[in-house]
Structure 1
Amino acid sequence: MNTWIILFVAVLGEVIATTSLKLSEGFTKLTPSVAVFVGYAVAFYFLSLTLKSIPLGIAYAVWSGLGVVIVSIIGWVLFGQKLDIWAFVGIALIISGVVVINLLSKTAAN
Protein backbone atom coordinates (compact mmCIF):
# COMPACT_ATOMS: atom_id res chain seq x y z
CA MET A 1 0.00 0.00 0.00
CA ASN A 2 1.23 3.51 -0.79
CA THR A 3 2.94 5.12 2.21
CA TRP A 4 0.89 8.31 1.89
CA ILE A 5 -2.35 6.31 1.98
CA ILE A 6 -1.10 4.59 5.11
CA LEU A 7 -0.36 8.00 6.62
CA PHE A 8 -3.87 9.17 5.74
CA VAL A 9 -5.30 6.09 7.53
CA ALA A 10 -3.24 7.14 10.57
CA VAL A 11 -4.72 10.65 10.35
CA LEU A 12 -8.26 9.22 10.13
CA GLY A 13 -7.62 7.04 13.18
CA GLU A 14 -6.42 10.07 15.13
CA VAL A 15 -9.38 12.18 14.02
CA ILE A 16 -11.87 9.47 14.99
CA ALA A 17 -10.17 9.03 18.37
CA THR A 18 -10.01 12.74 19.13
CA THR A 19 -13.63 13.30 18.09
CA SER A 20 -14.63 10.33 20.23
CA LEU A 21 -12.91 11.95 23.22
CA LYS A 22 -15.51 14.70 23.06
CA LEU A 23 -18.34 12.21 22.61
CA SER A 24 -17.14 10.01 25.50
CA GLU A 25 -17.97 12.74 28.04
CA GLY A 26 -14.96 11.99 30.20
CA PHE A 27 -15.02 8.26 29.40
CA THR A 28 -18.51 7.91 30.86
CA LYS A 29 -20.00 6.58 27.59
CA LEU A 30 -18.81 3.13 26.55
CA THR A 31 -18.96 3.19 22.74
CA PRO A 32 -17.09 6.49 22.23
CA SER A 33 -14.61 5.47 24.94
CA VAL A 34 -13.79 2.27 23.07
CA ALA A 35 -13.51 4.29 19.84
CA VAL A 36 -10.88 6.50 21.52
CA PHE A 37 -8.63 3.55 22.29
CA VAL A 38 -9.19 1.79 18.97
CA GLY A 39 -8.73 5.03 17.00
CA TYR A 40 -5.45 5.90 18.70
CA ALA A 41 -4.20 2.31 18.32
CA VAL A 42 -4.94 2.48 14.59
CA ALA A 43 -3.38 5.95 14.36
CA PHE A 44 -0.12 5.04 16.04
CA TYR A 45 0.19 1.69 14.31
CA PHE A 46 -0.25 3.16 10.84
CA LEU A 47 1.94 6.15 11.70
CA SER A 48 4.68 3.72 12.73
CA LEU A 49 4.41 1.99 9.35
CA THR A 50 4.97 5.26 7.51
CA LEU A 51 8.18 5.89 9.41
CA LYS A 52 9.86 3.14 7.40
CA SER A 53 9.94 5.45 4.37
CA ILE A 54 8.89 8.97 5.43
CA PRO A 55 11.22 10.94 7.73
CA LEU A 56 9.89 11.30 11.29
CA GLY A 57 9.55 15.09 11.22
CA ILE A 58 7.72 15.09 7.90
CA ALA A 59 5.36 12.25 8.85
CA TYR A 60 4.55 13.87 12.17
CA ALA A 61 4.03 17.31 10.61
CA VAL A 62 1.57 15.90 8.07
CA TRP A 63 -0.16 13.65 10.64
CA SER A 64 -0.59 16.32 13.28
CA GLY A 65 -1.28 19.17 10.85
CA LEU A 66 -4.03 17.38 8.96
CA GLY A 67 -5.43 16.07 12.23
CA VAL A 68 -5.68 19.59 13.66
CA VAL A 69 -7.37 20.91 10.53
CA ILE A 70 -9.89 18.07 10.25
CA VAL A 71 -10.72 18.06 13.98
CA SER A 72 -11.17 21.85 13.90
CA ILE A 73 -13.62 21.53 11.01
CA ILE A 74 -15.47 18.73 12.82
CA GLY A 75 -15.66 20.89 15.94
CA TRP A 76 -17.07 23.75 13.89
CA VAL A 77 -19.58 21.68 11.89
CA LEU A 78 -20.72 19.02 14.40
CA PHE A 79 -20.22 20.66 17.79
CA GLY A 80 -20.90 24.31 16.94
CA GLN A 81 -17.41 25.46 17.91
CA LYS A 82 -17.04 29.12 16.99
CA LEU A 83 -14.16 29.86 14.61
CA ASP A 84 -13.25 33.45 13.87
CA ILE A 85 -11.32 34.77 10.90
CA TRP A 86 -7.99 34.17 12.65
CA ALA A 87 -8.87 30.54 13.26
CA PHE A 88 -9.52 30.13 9.53
CA VAL A 89 -6.24 31.94 8.75
CA GLY A 90 -4.42 29.54 11.07
CA ILE A 91 -6.07 26.53 9.47
CA ALA A 92 -5.09 27.84 6.04
CA LEU A 93 -1.50 28.27 7.22
CA ILE A 94 -1.42 24.68 8.51
CA ILE A 95 -2.73 23.39 5.19
CA SER A 96 -0.20 25.56 3.36
CA GLY A 97 2.60 24.18 5.48
CA VAL A 98 1.64 20.58 4.73
CA VAL A 99 1.43 21.40 1.00
CA VAL A 100 4.83 23.15 1.02
CA ILE A 101 6.45 20.22 2.81
CA ASN A 102 5.03 17.72 0.33
CA LEU A 103 5.51 19.68 -2.89
CA LEU A 104 8.66 21.69 -2.32
CA SER A 105 10.73 20.08 0.42
CA LYS A 106 13.30 17.55 -0.71
CA THR A 107 13.15 15.88 2.75
CA ALA A 108 9.60 14.63 2.05
CA ALA A 109 10.73 12.48 -0.89
CA ASN A 110 10.50 8.72 -0.40
Structure 2
Amino acid sequence: MKGFVMLALAIICEIFGTTMLKLADGFTNLLPSVGVIIGFAFAFYFLGLSLKSIPLSLGYGIWAGAGTALTTLIGVIIWGEPFNVITFISLVAIIVGVILLNSSSAPANEKEPLNV
Protein backbone atom coordinates (compact mmCIF):
# COMPACT_ATOMS: atom_id res chain seq x y z
CA MET A 1 0.00 0.00 0.00
CA LYS A 2 2.86 2.39 0.81
CA GLY A 3 4.21 1.85 -2.70
CA PHE A 4 0.98 3.08 -4.24
CA VAL A 5 0.93 6.15 -1.97
CA MET A 6 4.46 6.96 -3.15
CA LEU A 7 3.34 6.36 -6.73
CA ALA A 8 0.41 8.76 -6.30
CA LEU A 9 2.80 11.40 -4.95
CA ALA A 10 5.09 10.80 -7.94
CA ILE A 11 2.18 11.33 -10.32
CA ILE A 12 1.10 14.54 -8.56
CA CYS A 13 4.66 15.88 -8.66
CA GLU A 14 5.05 14.96 -12.33
CA ILE A 15 1.80 16.75 -13.22
CA PHE A 16 2.96 19.78 -11.24
CA GLY A 17 6.34 19.76 -13.02
CA THR A 18 4.73 19.42 -16.44
CA THR A 19 2.26 22.22 -15.70
CA MET A 20 5.14 24.42 -14.58
CA LEU A 21 6.94 23.50 -17.82
CA LYS A 22 4.12 25.14 -19.78
CA LEU A 23 4.23 28.22 -17.53
CA ALA A 24 8.05 28.41 -17.71
CA ASP A 25 7.68 29.50 -21.36
CA GLY A 26 10.91 27.92 -22.58
CA PHE A 27 12.56 28.50 -19.19
CA THR A 28 12.23 32.27 -19.55
CA ASN A 29 10.12 32.62 -16.37
CA LEU A 30 12.17 31.96 -13.24
CA LEU A 31 9.61 30.71 -10.71
CA PRO A 32 7.88 28.21 -13.02
CA SER A 33 11.33 27.04 -14.18
CA VAL A 34 12.26 26.29 -10.58
CA GLY A 35 8.89 24.55 -10.25
CA VAL A 36 9.81 22.27 -13.17
CA ILE A 37 13.04 21.20 -11.48
CA ILE A 38 11.41 20.68 -8.09
CA GLY A 39 8.38 18.89 -9.54
CA PHE A 40 10.39 16.42 -11.60
CA ALA A 41 13.00 15.88 -8.88
CA PHE A 42 10.29 14.86 -6.41
CA ALA A 43 8.44 12.87 -9.08
CA PHE A 44 11.49 10.69 -9.70
CA TYR A 45 12.24 10.49 -5.99
CA PHE A 46 8.75 9.21 -5.14
CA LEU A 47 8.72 6.94 -8.20
CA GLY A 48 11.95 5.40 -7.00
CA LEU A 49 10.49 4.83 -3.54
CA SER A 50 7.36 3.27 -5.02
CA LEU A 51 9.44 0.80 -7.04
CA LYS A 52 10.72 -0.75 -3.81
CA SER A 53 7.39 -2.56 -3.52
CA ILE A 54 5.73 -2.26 -6.95
CA PRO A 55 7.01 -4.07 -10.05
CA LEU A 56 8.79 -1.74 -12.48
CA SER A 57 6.46 -2.40 -15.40
CA LEU A 58 3.38 -1.74 -13.30
CA GLY A 59 4.73 1.31 -11.47
CA TYR A 60 6.15 3.00 -14.54
CA GLY A 61 3.08 2.13 -16.60
CA ILE A 62 0.74 3.71 -14.07
CA TRP A 63 3.03 6.71 -13.60
CA ALA A 64 3.38 7.40 -17.31
CA GLY A 65 -0.23 6.63 -18.18
CA ALA A 66 -1.83 8.57 -15.36
CA GLY A 67 0.58 11.46 -15.84
CA THR A 68 -0.20 11.65 -19.55
CA ALA A 69 -3.96 11.38 -19.10
CA LEU A 70 -4.16 13.90 -16.26
CA THR A 71 -1.80 16.34 -17.98
CA THR A 72 -3.97 16.15 -21.09
CA LEU A 73 -7.02 17.02 -19.01
CA ILE A 74 -5.18 19.94 -17.40
CA GLY A 75 -4.26 21.22 -20.85
CA VAL A 76 -7.88 21.05 -21.92
CA ILE A 77 -9.26 22.65 -18.74
CA ILE A 78 -6.65 25.35 -18.08
CA TRP A 79 -5.31 26.23 -21.53
CA GLY A 80 -8.33 25.36 -23.64
CA GLU A 81 -6.45 22.80 -25.69
CA PRO A 82 -8.66 20.86 -28.09
CA PHE A 83 -10.68 17.94 -26.78
CA ASN A 84 -12.21 15.83 -29.49
CA VAL A 85 -13.15 12.23 -30.20
CA ILE A 86 -9.53 11.25 -30.89
CA THR A 87 -8.42 12.78 -27.57
CA PHE A 88 -11.19 10.94 -25.74
CA ILE A 89 -10.37 7.60 -27.40
CA SER A 90 -6.69 8.09 -26.62
CA LEU A 91 -7.39 8.75 -22.94
CA VAL A 92 -9.65 5.70 -22.75
CA ALA A 93 -6.91 3.61 -24.39
CA ILE A 94 -4.38 4.78 -21.80
CA ILE A 95 -6.73 3.99 -18.92
CA VAL A 96 -7.62 0.57 -20.34
CA GLY A 97 -3.94 -0.16 -20.91
CA VAL A 98 -3.06 0.65 -17.30
CA ILE A 99 -5.96 -1.47 -16.04
CA LEU A 100 -4.85 -4.41 -18.22
CA LEU A 101 -1.25 -3.99 -17.11
CA ASN A 102 -2.39 -3.95 -13.47
CA SER A 103 -4.51 -7.07 -13.91
CA SER A 104 -1.66 -8.95 -15.58
CA SER A 105 0.83 -8.30 -12.76
CA ALA A 106 1.24 -11.23 -10.42
CA PRO A 107 2.68 -10.68 -6.95
CA ALA A 108 6.46 -10.38 -7.03
CA ASN A 109 6.99 -13.62 -5.11
CA GLU A 110 5.16 -15.59 -7.82
CA LYS A 111 7.32 -14.38 -10.71
CA GLU A 112 10.36 -16.22 -11.93
CA PRO A 113 13.36 -14.04 -12.80
CA LEU A 114 14.25 -13.91 -16.49
CA ASN A 115 17.40 -15.88 -17.19
CA VAL A 116 19.25 -14.35 -20.09
Partner of 2:74: 74
Query: Which runs of 5 or more residues in structure 2 are unaligned?
Result: 109-116
**CA RMSD between the two structures:** 1.3
Query: Which runs of 5 or more residues in structure 1 are unaligned?
Result: none
- Distance across 2 between alignment mates of 1:36 and 1:54: 26
**1:57 matches 2:64:** no
Q: Tell me the TM-score normalised to structure 1 length.
A: 0.91
**1:29 matches 2:26:** no
Partner of 1:89: 89
**CA positional deviation for 1:106:** 3.1
Return 4-13 or 50-59, whichever deviates more: 50-59
Identity of aligned residues (%): 42
Partner of 1:4: 4
**CA positional deviation for 1:100:** 2.3
Partner of 2:113: none
Helix, strand or coil at the partner of 1:28: coil
Q: Tell me the TM-score normalised to structure 2 length.
A: 0.87
Partner of 1:105: 104
User: Which structure is larger by alpha-carbon Rg, 1 or 2?
Assistant: 2
**CA positional deviation for 1:98:** 1.4
